[in-house]
Amino acid sequence: MSRISRFALFAVLLSVVGLTSCLDDDKHEWLHMKECWGTVIGTQDEFKIVTDLGNTLLVVENDNPSFQVKDSMRVVATFTELGQKDENVYDIRINAIRELLTKDPLYASQLDEQQVDSVGRDPIEALYAWFGNGQYLNIEFGIYFSDLQKAHMLNLVVDDERSTDERVYVKLTHNAFGDNERMYEGYGRVSFDIADLIPEGKDQIVVVMEWTNYAQLPQTISGIFRQVKADDTTPITYTLLRKGTINDAKTSVSVE
């Protein structure tokens, strides 16, 4: 099979918009479409999306009706803004929507030797990582693979022995299940619920994220993860990383 070609410029721009803004700056709107990560509230007949940037998107038109949403489902959606109802509340048309893989972190001290092996030691590239809605660590990642049918597995492992009440260390892990041949370049998205990483009595903590890239080099980024309060005017999303792409690949891969 032929090597997957690099994605178009429009895909690059749309991806950057989706990871850095969602209805917060019209100058970043490309062809009147935007993208957001968020949580569904409601049912298939009537629902809204509360985004990880704190906006409420009221779905008044849906061009992707075959996708069955469920209440509390995490999604990534591309949409067109139709009008503003209130501050941070918008009417939208859904152009495309898909479920967003969302997982809880694992704790290193609770893993036995077999479980440590199962989380994986394969390389991965963290392309973008950011905090959403005082609850999530959102990551867009890049990997190489050869089997289009094989699902890879990602986890976020908390190093609770190194972590303190001020700073928590986490590692993004990848198990390719032997699918390591560099035939295709792909990407995926995952969201980790890290709300419980903030110690009781505190409202923020420094999160240090580590991973191993394809040069077998350890990588590290860090940022301040904050709780969201009703009267807090601080932006609820803190961008951790804008690193680039794995050879600009945009082929979606299957992960669990």
Can you name the residues that pair with 192 across neighbouring β-strands?
103, 137
Per-state percent for the chain, helix, strand, coil, to nearest 5 = 10, 45, 40
Could you tell me the residue range of the domain that residue 60 belongs to? 9-99
Choice among 10-24, 72-86, 234-248 with the minimum mean pLDDT: 10-24
User: What is the domain count for the chain?
Assistant: 2
Assess whether 77 and 198 both reside in one domain: no
- Domain boundary at 99, 127, 162, which? 99
- What would the 3-class secondary structure string for 193-224 be? ECHHHCCCCCCEEEEEEEEECCCCCEEEEEEE
| Degrees, nearest 5: CA angle 66-100-98 | 20
Assess whether 207 and 190 both reside in one domain: yes
More confident call, 234 vs 119: 119
- Domain boundary at 83, 99, 115, which? 99
The residue written with tokens 């409601």 in the block is: 42
N-to-C CA span, the chain? 25
The residue written with tokens 């509340």 in the block is: 89
Assess whether 93 and 106 both reside in one domain: no
What CATH number is associated with residue 62? 2.40.50.500
pLDDT at 213 over 80: yes
Choice among 32-41, 118-127, 148-157 with the minimum mean pLDDT: 32-41
Q: How far apart are CA 201 and CA 166, in angstroms?
A: 12
pLDDT at 201 over 80: yes
Listed residue (135, 146, 106, 140) closest to 196, CA to CA:
135
Q: What is the 8-class DSSP label of residue 227?
A: -
The residue written with tokens 């009147």 in the block is: 32
Choice among 31-45, 90-104, 156-170, 206-220 with the minimum mean pLDDT: 31-45
Return the structure tokens found at 172.
């993004």
Return the structure tokens found at 16.
């950057």
Tens of pLDDT, residues 92-143:
999 999 999 999 999 999 999 889 889 999 999 998 888 888 899 999 999 9
* Helix intervals (H) in 80-187: 113-119
The most confident of 21-30, 98-107, 213-222, by mean pLDDT: 98-107
The residue written with tokens 């990642």 in the block is: 141
Assess whether 45 and 157 both reside in one domain: no
- Domain boundary at 39, 66, 99, which? 99
For residue 130, give the 3-state DSSP assignment. Answer: strand
Burial call 131-157: b when 16+ CB within 10 Å, e when fewer: bbbbbbbbbbbbbbbebeeeebbbbbb
For residue 115, give the 3-state DSSP assignment. Answer: helix
Amino acid at 106: L
Q: What is the pTM of this model?
A: 0.82
Q: How far apart are CA 219 and CA 241, in angstroms?
A: 11
Can you name the residues that pair with 61 across neighbouring β-strands?
93
More confident call, 244 vs 224: 224
